Structure 1
Amino acid sequence: MGNDKLVLVGGGGVRGPLFVESAARRAGELGLAEIVLLDIDPEKLHLLGAVSAHLAREHSPVRVVATTDAHRALADAAYVVTTIRVGGDRGRVVDERVAMRHGVLGQETTGAGGFAMALRSVPAVLGYADLLRRLSPDAWLFNFTNPAGLVTQALVDAGHERVVGICDSANLAQHAVAAHHGVDPNGLRPEVYGLNHLSWARAVRDADGRDLMGPLLRDPAFRDATLQRFFPPELTELTGTWINEYLYYYYFAEQAVAQLGTETRTRGEEVGERNAALLAELAAIDPERHPGRAVEAYRAYEAGRRSTYMKYAEPSSAQGDRTLGEGTEGYAAVALDLIAALAGGPARHTAVNIPNAGCLGALEPSDVAEISVVADAEGIRPLPIGEVPEPQAGLIRQVKTFERLTVQAIRDRSRTQAVRALMAHPLVLSYSRSAALVDDYLAGHRDHVGEWR
């Protein structure tokens, strides 16, 4: 197997064109000759695949292939990125509405909503990973399918070794500090610990070991220009860290549920309407005949979607989109940076989700953590973090217990274990609520999860 084939599983998704554009722009650096878009929805694959192919042609001669044949896509692959949404936008809406009915958070990666998405995501991603292991055993798999950390834990528990969970949120501190100082983020060393969407950055150091982030966290202008504006300065002082924006759902749990409950549409309903409108517009344009117009429509869609990201967490004084260091490549940048390092380029320091191998004292060595790593031609290795403050450590352990129990419940198709899992989650806890949530989710997603015992 060569190292010239990159596969995007879920390539007919709305983020596919952004990923392909980034990969095509860096195709020479990465040694890519072919990008394969794999999806089970032929209509979306046709429309968004055409947009992707046009964007790629603007940057390099890399070949873009669209297919619904998983065997064809994964054979002889060097790198695979999984970004799928089992059940589509409707599944997300069910997750949100069921959670709201029971008075808990329905966000797609956190709490009850994340649990429901895992019920559908884990078996599907495991299926692709098993097929990849048979067809291309030396390939690297980068999982972006949510809940990314939990799905990666399931992959590791199933014996898959070359798997990495990726998330752009884990690296925002590094990129914000780099943007502020006008330096290359790859020259900085982040110290990140926790779980996916439950992590903290305690430092971002330069080559001489100096922490460049600490002073900036006390700078109102810096905080206001980053997602740290979601959190009051007192909370930053209490943790002494950059706080992952998804911790808003924990540190402001009752406020988040109340705010989401006042929305006339859930986030899933809003995104679903945007997605449907985009697909209808692309179908009317015909991207193969009018690629320029199709790209314009796609750019407008993407800008509109980004503008509403976590809008309920914005302080009332916030003005517009001012997120320092947050580029448009998102998760693509994380995956492509890792591929560049694995392909023999310069070593990269970043944060990803892999077994922490004893580097994080709050967890067992086999527990997948969102943690600082170094990637190079030899592989991807976690860096020592050691002990962390007990308030963070306690929350990490509790949510990891939920993740472990959820993986077991899915593996055994056990309703009892699923109830135990939600009872362990700090945003659910109640037995009566957990049991009702499990029953409603198993019923609402029966077409995708089947019958459980």
Structure 2
Amino acid sequence: MRLTILGGGGFRVPLVYGALLGDHAEGRITHVTLFDLDERRLSAISRVLAEQARGVPDAPVVRVTTDLDEAVYEADFIFSAIRVGGLHGRAADERIALDEGVLGQETVGAGGLAYGLRTLPVVTRIAQQIADLAPDAWVINFTNPAGLVTEAMSRILGDRVIGICDSPVGLGRRVARALNVDPRKVWLDYVGLNHLGWLRGVKVGGKDILPRLFEYDTLLGSFEEGRLFGLEWLRSLGAIPNEYLHYYYFNRETVRAYSEAKRTRGAYLLEQQEGFYREMERSDTPALATWQRTLADREATYMAHNREAAGLGDRYEEDLESGGYEQVALSLMRAIARNERTTLILNVRNRQTLSVLDADAVIEVPCLVDASGAHPVSVDPLPGHAVGLVTSVKAVEREAMAAAESCSRAAAVKAFALHPLVDSVGVARRLLDNYMDEFAGLSYLR
């Protein structure tokens, strides 16, 4: 089987390759193509992969290319992890939003919307090239904002594009361990949009054991989301929110923490990864060790501003465990390629799963996966407070797609203005003006 990784020079690509190295069964991925426009990044990551593969006799063969047609042709699976504008763009997304007093995080709020608006035309063209050159390929999307991008690509590729995210997996694992059960043996009742979902139940043998978590302070406060949101608020919700809902529930505190920080998350990652790729230009740099050291620091500082806003310290060691999106991607490919039926929380078209959304809306829910793809399972309706957020954010995504399709500045302003984390039409207009001044990739809006 052949896998192509779009954004193959990206820092987290070795996580995916590491997962592939552990798969020795028939039907595994045997060839990996890394596609990127940046040859320096491709060279650095291919060196890391070469060190990972040492001593593994059946390691997937790796090749690199800057030609998209060559990359997708005859691929069985295509993993999309591109970043339009790079980390310079992410840093600018955050800074411009914070200058207006609103959140700039890369997938949530104004920053995520700006990122999405310049990404949509690119992924739409990519989806069309895939449809033309590799119509039988399965596309696994990790490009952010993942729900928005997956829905845009699905308009061309249908159900052959599936979005993945590691947040629900990590949440489910932490809650299961707090309840002292094997994360592999539970059914997670999780529903929402990407970075906007709630864990409402943890079932073992058909019995929901999540209510036990709310009975004991020691259990509820023993994992990251419990400490982040606070026990009282979680008991009020009767569910465990995805960590990204902290930006909604504690927006003022988070914006203040971001504004007062010496640098934003994007600026930090820009500096850190520039350092990594610069080190990798030296032929004597130990590639794998350098990458591992950089990854450890990256994971330890994840959502640091949110923890600061919540009055928390460093992340607990158990919250740093890897095995997130790369394992989801591997499980998804195995299920499709070998018909190894499994259940995964994925971003797929709604069909009839949530009555408050139409059939084509991409949602994030448990899915049964087999050789025919991912099929969302039936879930209970969302409570009213969740319906409000989900439908509002989906409306914003739809306006963003309309703006990208029609090149409409008015639709883009409407997308910003309708977002729950943007509190003024005037702010929305200024945001778009400032983003268009910053990014040539938004010049299509008229």
The answer to whether the 8 A contact 1:19-1:329 is kept is: no
Q: Separation in 1 of the partners of 2:125 and 2:31? A: 23
Partner of residue 421 from structure 1, selected from 376, 399, 415: 415
Q: Deviations over 1:275-317 (max 9, x none)?
A: 0111111112446xxxxx2111111000011111111222435
How far residue 87 of structure 1 moved from its aligned partner, in angstroms, is 1.0
Query: Counterpart of 1:299?
Result: 292
Q: Separation in 2 of the partners of 1:102 and 1:131? A: 38
The answer to whether the 8 A contact 1:177-1:212 is kept is: no
Partner of residue 174 from structure 2, selected from 173, 176, 187: 176
Query: Counterpart of 2:241?
Result: 243
Change (3 A) 1:212 1:367: same
Q: Separation in 2 of the partners of 1:190 and 1:61? A: 33
Q: Separation in 2 of the partners of 1:30 and 1:254? A: 50
Query: Counterpart of 1:202?
Result: 200
* Paired amino acid for 1:297: T
Alignment pair present for 1:22 and 2:19: yes
Amino-acid identity (%): 35
Alignment pair present for 1:67 and 2:65: yes
Partner of residue 41 from structure 2, selected from 34, 40, 44: 44
* Paired amino acid for 2:289: E
**Aligned positions of 1:440-451 closer than 5 A:** 440-446=434-440, 448-451=441-444
SS in 1 for 2:140: strand
Q: Separation in 1 of the partners of 2:418 and 2:234? A: 26
Query: Counterpart of 2:52?
Result: 55
How far residue 256 of structure 1 moved from its aligned partner, in angstroms, is 0.7
How far residue 378 of structure 1 moved from its aligned partner, in angstroms, is 2.8
Partner of residue 372 from structure 2, selected from 364, 370, 378: 378
Change (3 A) 1:321 1:372: same
Change (3 A) 1:217 1:331: farther
- More off after superposition, 346-355 vs 315-324: 315-324
How far residue 196 of structure 1 moved from its aligned partner, in angstroms, is 0.6
How far residue 61 of structure 1 moved from its aligned partner, in angstroms, is 2.6
Partner of residue 435 from structure 1, selected from 429, 438, 443: 429
Alignment pair present for 1:310 and 2:303: yes
**Aligned positions of 1:316-395 closer than 5 A:** 316=311, 318=313, 320-324=315-319, 327-395=321-389
The answer to whether the 8 A contact 1:20-1:52 is kept is: yes
The answer to whether the 8 A contact 1:169-1:197 is kept is: yes
Q: Separation in 2 of the partners of 1:212 and 1:104? A: 38
How far residue 240 of structure 1 moved from its aligned partner, in angstroms, is 1.0
How far residue 418 of structure 1 moved from its aligned partner, in angstroms, is 0.6
Query: Counterpart of 1:126?
Result: 124
Q: Separation in 2 of the partners of 1:227 and 1:48? A: 33
Q: Separation in 2 of the partners of 1:11 and 1:253? A: 34
Structure 1 segments (4+ residues) deviating >6 Å: none
How far residue 366 of structure 1 moved from its aligned partner, in angstroms, is 1.5
* Paired amino acid for 1:197: H
The answer to whether the 8 A contact 1:30-1:339 is kept is: no
Gaps of 5+ in 2: none
SS in 2 for 1:250: helix
Alignment pair present for 1:12 and 2:9: yes
The answer to whether the 8 A contact 1:29-1:340 is kept is: no
Q: Separation in 2 of the partners of 1:49 and 1:219? A: 48
The answer to whether the 8 A contact 2:168-2:242 is kept is: yes
Query: Counterpart of 2:94?
Result: 96
Change (3 A) 1:388 1:430: same
Equivalenced residues, count:
442
**Could you state the TM-score of these two structures normalised by the residue count of structure 2?**
0.94
Q: Separation in 2 of the partners of 1:183 and 1:79? A: 33
* Paired amino acid for 1:304: D
How far residue 187 of structure 1 moved from its aligned partner, in angstroms, is 3.0
Partner of residue 136 from structure 1, selected from 123, 134, 146: 134
SS in 2 for 1:354: strand
The answer to whether the 8 A contact 2:403-2:445 is kept is: no
The answer to whether the 8 A contact 1:25-1:56 is kept is: no
How far residue 177 of structure 1 moved from its aligned partner, in angstroms, is 4.0
Gaps of 5+ in 1: 288-292
The answer to whether the 8 A contact 1:106-1:113 is kept is: yes
